[in-house]
Structure 1
Amino acid sequence: MRIWVVLAASALGLAGASRVAAQRALGKLLFFEPALSVNGKRSCASCHRPEKAFTDHRGTPRALRFAGNLRRNSPTILNAAGQTSFFHDGRASSLDAVIEAVLTSPDEFGSSYAQAAQRLGSSAEYRQLFRRAFAAPVAANTINAALVAYLRAQTATASPYDRARAGGPALPATPAAGAALFAGAGGCAGCHGGPQFRDGQRHEVAAGQWVKTPTLRNVAVTMPYRADGGAATLAAVLTDGYHRPLPPRPLTAPEVEQLTAFLEALTDTTSADHRAPAALPRMRDLPGRAVGGQY
């Protein structure tokens, strides 16, 4: 959806930074808003919990109404902005497309923009917040725009590694050795290069299974790993059937330790907003809903 871009730009011209702050604040409420799901019990925060670096620490997340599990592991939303493709298979080309896919998926929110807008629009508080943020009513484009504004603000780039590069305290010997291995003989930077430690490409991790390279920022606190959540530890990923053959030779045990220590040095749990809202706007149809949903 491109409409929200024009709308948000117009609103920005009216009120500048305060309008952006209003959009982000509204997006935060919507991120924790279970009214976006058909049963009023599931929110974005159900699978992307802020206290778990915006993942859920499950192999694969629960499906709507606990009807089994989804097929893919929940990726972190930290530093999600700036990508050109989304989901593990890269099938979405924008955050707007991700939101629409989740909102309408029968396994995730099972809802529609019409239902979501009707519910939010039934709340006088939400109507006021949308007018303040966009000078526009509750609609598909403004719902998307608010959520995207919040997601774009969730960055985490002040890890010990970043501070060391900026002239702060140097990394200890083990993670420093891991950093050198990562950039050199380990071959890791080939796929996990750049400031976000991802290349934006898909790779065949098993016969016929193509997966987009995930960011390695905060990877030490977003376990379990792989698209199917099948690896419990970083060491398990570094020595699995896909990664083991990639360097010029298999990694030694000390090298696995060094790389693990370096990946742990990419952790930043202080930059992003990890606090849930204290309360949600009043809504007649769903008066007792919980912040973040019930699961």
Structure 2
Amino acid sequence: MKYRIHKQTWVILLAGLILPALLHLAFRPVSTNETIRAILLEDADVFQEQVAELEKVAQAYVQQEVALDELQNQLAATRLAYKRLEYLMEYYYPTAVKGGINGAPLYHLDPYMPRPVIHEPNGLQSLDELVFSEEAPEEREHIASLCEELKGAYANIQRDFKGHPMLDREVFEASRLQLVRLFTLGVTGFDTPGSLNGLAESRRSLQSLQEIMAIYIRQLQDEGKELGVEVDRLFSGAIGYLERENDFNSFDRLYFLKAFIDPLFGGLLDLHRALHLETVYETTNLEQSWNYNSRSIFDEDFLNPYYYTKVVRSPNDEKRKLLGQRLFYETRLSGNQTRSCASCHHPDKAFTDGMAKSAGNKQGEFVDRNAPSLINAVFSMRFFWDMRAFRFEDQMEHVIISHKEFNTSYEAIFRKLRADEEYQRLFAEAYPEVKDYPAINRSTLSDALSRYLMSLVAFNSPFDQYVRNERKEIDPRVKDGFNLFMGKAACGTCHFAPTFSGLAPPLYQDSESEVLGVLEMPGTAEPRMDSDPGRKANRNPMEGVWFYHNSFKTVTVRNVSLSGPYFHNGAYGNLQEVVDFYDHGGAAGLGLDVPHQTLAGDSLHLSDYEKEALIEFMSSLEHTSTFSPYLHP
């Protein structure tokens, strides 16, 4: 029996075979060539040698056979060796690096244990802080122990790294992330809390990236040669600038960002595309925290709000967002039908309420803490001041059941909304796939409100526009303020760019809290710390540990000129008081006993002009023009 295949069917079959092949040619999952691999493995061996030498020198320091400056020099050499391969170490082994190679010098919990297991600070950052401190002579044994731990931690990684497959796509992703890391954690001093050697280390990191990218540039076709020349020129310019302008306090970070880091960030994207390599978007459908197609760290879409929620993209996104906006202003969500989300989050106050602590649902009653801004609130991994909520959508439940806030239940809310024909229609139109149970339910209510809150994204302030070259000029005080914020004043080591919150770069997948020692009533003759236990009392059994006592989420300083009063207790009425508090070194700097304060207790010694410039910079981050009050029908 003969089989006849219709001509159209042949076309479909051929298309099914050819299109995947064309896509494969257009976006190639290519392993790195042997030259690149050899360089990376050599860098890994050099770092191992430097770590071994560091341990040897540390042991000699214990025996008082070498001076402290020799130990400091060896630590500096070890860190410089690490900076040549940091981008791939962080890319392939982020948890191991954070836990044993170069994590922040803070007590931390073991991420793999089902109960609280506390680890002491370790790794290169802890060594930098300790070896370059006045306490180094008294900490000889501890320093040697940290060096021994570092050697063991890296040995485990290196064994795997030697046989680890490497793709060109991964090298490009890691390199672009390194540019973010270098700017937000390197030149700010975050990575070198003792030596402040971040500028030299950033130069070494860029030299490594330039060497690797030169190999890719040689693979460009004739039409891409000009791009290759420009990328190499930018690398050389950045390295030269770091070599010339090597004073930490006077280093012009804003110029460095605009002239080199952002252009390189975009240039490596162009180089990636010119080589027709696949990107992460050809390998997975999972939402990514940052947008690989963005060209600037300060692009409006640099971060992806869908990564931070359970919300799924839908053709009905707009309907659901508008429904969420209506619900945000709906007083029937509260038990006594007098309160709505907008009661504590006003659009004209950057979605705060201007009060130290928000009014409760009873006359004369107040909630426990200050209402934070909801603008850019989606960009976080934890929510509320004490970080008790792990999901963006969980915030609503806490407000609904709180006896000081909505003081109600889901069922009570559903009864009210289901009795309203207009809400029945709006939910049915926004969620047409809900057939077997009421369209007004916990899932759809949470989803609608979340979509509205996700829309409260603002990265188009005058400062953002200036960084992106959409604005030619900006007040010189703003420039000076940004450089202070990211340098001498050390604000940017906790309020990370570009969110200027505790969302940690470069992946922006972890939210941080800090112990500042916020005062109960600033300006008094006898200062006293606020008694709120903060994160330690958030009812998460893993976090009831001593170093989270008085620890609070690091919130954004975007729109901060509109969102006072400040801190979790709203005790600071203006930005001058806030800057003065930091300048003193928090509670410890004021003479209070806060041994676990994460803010350095030393004075910043800021001049009046420097304080003014900091406030001008923070004020330049204002962007609320797209948010207007909702007129409820």
* 197-206 or 40-49, larger mean C-alpha shift: 197-206
Q: Answer whether contact 1:156 1:270 (CA < 8 A) is retained.
A: no
Establish whether residue 257 from structure 1 lines up as the match of residue 612 from structure 2.
yes
Q: Which residue of 2 aligns with 1:222?
A: 563
3-state DSSP class of the match of 2:515?
A: strand
Counterpart amino acid of residue 576 in structure 2: A
Q: How far apart are 1:205 and its partner, in Å? A: 2.0
Instruction: Flag structure 2 segments of 5+ consecutive residues without an equivalent.
Output: 1-308, 503-510, 518-528, 530-548, 586-599
AA in 1 matched with 2:572: A
Conserved 8 A contact 1:60-1:228? yes
Q: Please give the per-residue CA displacement for 1:34-65, whole angstroms capped at 9, x wherever unaligned.
A: 00000111000000011211110001001112
1:215-268 C-alpha deviation (Å, 9 max, x unpaired) = 01101110111110000111101111x552247633221111010000000001
Query: Per the alignment, in what secondary structure is the counterpart of residue 516 of structure 2?
Result: strand
Matches within 5 A, 1:224-243: 224-240=565-581
Partners of 1:217 and 1:238 in 2: CA distance: 15
Indicate the residue corresponding to 1:145 in structure 2: 447
1:185 and 2:525 correspond: no
Q: Is the 8 A contact 2:583 2:606 kept in 1?
A: no
Query: Given residue 230 of structure 1, which amino acid in structure 2 is its aligned partner?
Result: A
Question: Cα offset for 1:107?
Answer: 0.7
The answer for the alignment partner of 1:195 in structure 2 is 498
Q: 2:514 matched to 1:174?
A: no
Alignment-mate amino acid for residue 211 of structure 1? F
> Where does residue 205 of structure 1 map in the other structure?
516
More helix by share: 2
Report which structure shows greater RCO (CA 8 Å, sep ≥6).
Answer: 1
Matched letter for residue 203 of structure 1 = E
Query: Cα distance 1:83–1:45, how it changes in 2: closer, same or farther (>3 A)?
Result: same
d(CA) in 2 for partners of 1:128, 1:115: 19
Note the C-alpha offset of 1:185. 1.0
Q: Using a 3 Å threshold, how does the CA distance of structure 1 residues 126 and 243 change in structure 2: closer, same or farther?
A: farther
Report the counterpart of residue 162 of structure 1 in structure 2.
Answer: 464
Show the counterpart of 1:120: 417
CA distance in 1, matches of 2:392, 2:576: 31
Report deviation, 1:276. Answer: 1.2
Q: Which moved more, 1:204-213 or 1:242-251?
A: 242-251
Question: Match for residue 629 of structure 2?
Answer: 275
In structure 2, give the amino acid aligned to 1:150.
Y
1:106 aligns with 403
Contact 2:583 2:603 in 1 (8 A): no
Is residue 373 of structure 2 the alignment partner of residue 76 of structure 1?
A: yes
> Deviation per CA, 1:88-117, whole angstroms, max 9, x where unpaired?
111111222110000111110001110101
Render the CA deviation track for 1:162-208: whole Å, top value 9, x for unaligned. Answer: 01001013221111110111111111100011211012211112273
SS of match in other structure, 1:21 = helix
Which amino acid is 2:630 matched to?
A
Q: Partners in 2 of 1:86 and 1:170 — Cα distance?
A: 36
The answer to whether the 8 A contact 2:370-2:570 is kept is yes
Q: Does residue 244 of the first structure (1) align with residue 581 of the second (2)?
A: no
Q: Which amino acid aligns with 1:201?
A: E
- Give the share of equivalent positions with the same residue, in percent: 30
2:341 paired residue number: 44
The structure with the larger Rg is: 2
- Which amino acid in the other structure matches residue 573 of structure 2? A
Shift of 1:67: 4.6
Unaligned stretches of 5+ residues in structure 1: 280-295
Q: For residues 258 and 67 of structure 1, what CA distance do their matches in structure 2 show?
A: 39
Tell whether 2:626 aligns with 1:266. no
Q: Using structure 1 for the length normalisation, give the TM-score.
A: 0.86
Partner Cα separation in structure 2 for residue 169 and residue 220 of structure 1: 23
**Letter in structure 1 aligned against 2:497:** G
Number of residue-to-residue matches in the alignment: 266
Aligned residues of 1:185 and 1:248 also touching (Cα < 8 A): no
